[in-house]
Structure 1
Amino acid sequence: MKKSNLKKNLAFIIPIAAILFFIVFKLCTMDISGATLKYDLNDNPDMVKVLTEAKNDSKALIINGNNDDLNYTWTYDKGKITDTKKTNLEIKPYTKYKKNIVKTLGTSNITVFTYNKDINLNGSPRLTFKEVNTKGNAYLFELKNGKVSYVKDTVSNDNDITFDVTKTDNIYILASGVNSKTLTSVKKKAVSLKAENKKEKEKIEKDTKDKKEESKKTAKKSSSKKVSKASNDKKKKVSKSKIKKSKGSPINLDEQKVDKKTTLSCTLTVECRDILDNKDKLKDGKEKNVPKNGYIYGPRKVTFYDGENVYDVLEREMRNSGIPFDADGYTEYSSAYVRGINNLYEFDCGKSSGWLYYVNGSRPSFGCSRYVLNDGDNIHWEFDVK
């Protein structure tokens, strides 16, 4: 009799226990807060709706994608979506000139890719490439006009590589195992992609033309509007402004000689006070990057080695102070170009806004990595809102 009751009880208890276990498991594994939205590009989600929901509800957004051997994830943190325009986040592998890239960088641990031409970043996303063949630190490079230029360092975790996306116009290379000599050379100046002959070199240059510059030229040609007299008068006023031109002479990077035995000093200031009077132009979400007094760094006396340039000092002090810093390693002007400091980027406060530098109160007419410093110089970086 007792055994019969026990069997009946077990028959009743076991299904209930299984159901309870399933409920507890689901509660433990589900995102109860709903703070993160997750989508897969292969499901063709309506990106306008996805971005709108994430922005309006202040949610983080994760979008997974894959194309051939490329597995990648886009991540938008809470509050990082600035608009909800239509976008295509597909990434495509680029296999052309892979052998040339390997020869140039001296490593076979590379991933070459391009962004979709209809991409719209809609803010400041991070991109993670998964299951990438890595060897040590990985770096992001850009291929344009037949030359490889350094973009930025990345964060490597096992076989995953992550970086903030700020440029999407051309061909990009993730590379690890690059020897220090090659890396130093590319960081200072863009290097030509190695080619078998002159004909191949010309073909590479043609196939890798800077898309951003090409689009500007096309837009300029298609525009038939004439500059009005008022516009010309405005240009004359600007040319006669009180901005001083630097008396310093530019130096080519390959001519730079640094004497690490001789230490000098200068004063460095980085500020964005101009934004305080133009907050109505500032992009949404950027207010938190603007200090109350407008000063991001300094004025502070810092040391440098004899022969170092303005860029050397800025890059080192920003890195040592933990201040976010983003620069193109090379431009058509044979100099580094500072795009962002403290997450304040060009165009963040109007179409003509961006970073300018002055030395001893004068504004040089050449790039910051071509200005070799003297002892006692005063460097002033200003976020200019024109």
Structure 2
Amino acid sequence: MDKIETIVSQADRENPEKDIIEAGAKLIKNGGVVAFPTETVYGLGANAFCEEAIDKIFIAKGRPQDNPLILHVSSIDEVYPLVEKVDENMKMLMEKFWPGPLTIIFKKSSKVSKKLTGGLSTVAIRMPRNKIALELINSSGVPIAAPSANTSGRPSPTEASHVVEDMYGKIDMIIDGGSTGVGVESTVLDMSEEVPTILRPGGVTLEDLLQIFSEVKYDQSIISDDENIVPKSPGQKYKHYAPKAKMIVFTGDVKTISKNIKSQVKSLTLEGKKVGIMATEETKDEYNEGIVLVVGSRSDKDTIARNLFKVLRQFDELNVDMILAEGVDTEGIGRAIMNRMKKACGGDIRKV
């Protein structure tokens, strides 16, 4: 692909500069690709009604064509032309959790290209909780199709520098709005079945959803270790979030986890390997060998979600040969954290 001159503009996240928003919106309207911050990760945005622009996203990312894109809107009213129907439950979800890290699966209308939905008859839509994103969508006057702004398979970008690393020279513009807040992608909720089904865990948790529904379930591919289960969401079947080094995740009692990691570090170091340890605030002082990076606190798992992809990229920069990571319990956002860790390590999770 030919190299593109990429504009990088720093925007105020609370009061985005009008000229930056207008420049980005003009590019979107004209079929360009613009990376922008959301509250979860940075998105790679294009005009959802322009198939040529949608193609540019797939090319820039190296993304498989059957992996659907999420549509981003700036108001609930923008949803209605894009879908067949909005029932009371869907309306309740939008009113309670939007803007925010919840993507809802609807039956698509004829206005939405199957190129965008990976050939499916459904469409994924969300409203991000970020002023830069909302103003960009609003100024563009079209819904913005946007997956995460990283090369497919790499850790998702939570800072503009991550987008520059993966996308500079491939897209038209990067709007730098600082670090993102949630740090893991939005929850994807399928409302097409009798029981609302989580296809991807994220910032809106099962516990949050159970406040309004009597029953919510996870897609079996999220909670089962059976590799033969086919995930309902096409994107879930692809390798994601992978650092360059091999990664192993340890789960179980915290003391047993650190004991096992220390043992592994010792033997790997003797083999001449450069080892990275993804530790938590509570355990960081346990390790006296290896390169220790703190991902967050077990008592506040939101901090782990926020820093997970950033730490994986830091290990890449440090050229480690192996990453040994501490797993967390799956309560609340822990489910989303472990879902991303499982994909990052290629399923190499050791229960100790």
- Scaled by the length of structure 2, what TM-score is found? 0.30
Largest Rg, 1 or 2? 1
Higher relative contact order (CA 8 A, sep 6+): 2
The TM-score normalised by the length of structure 1 is 0.28
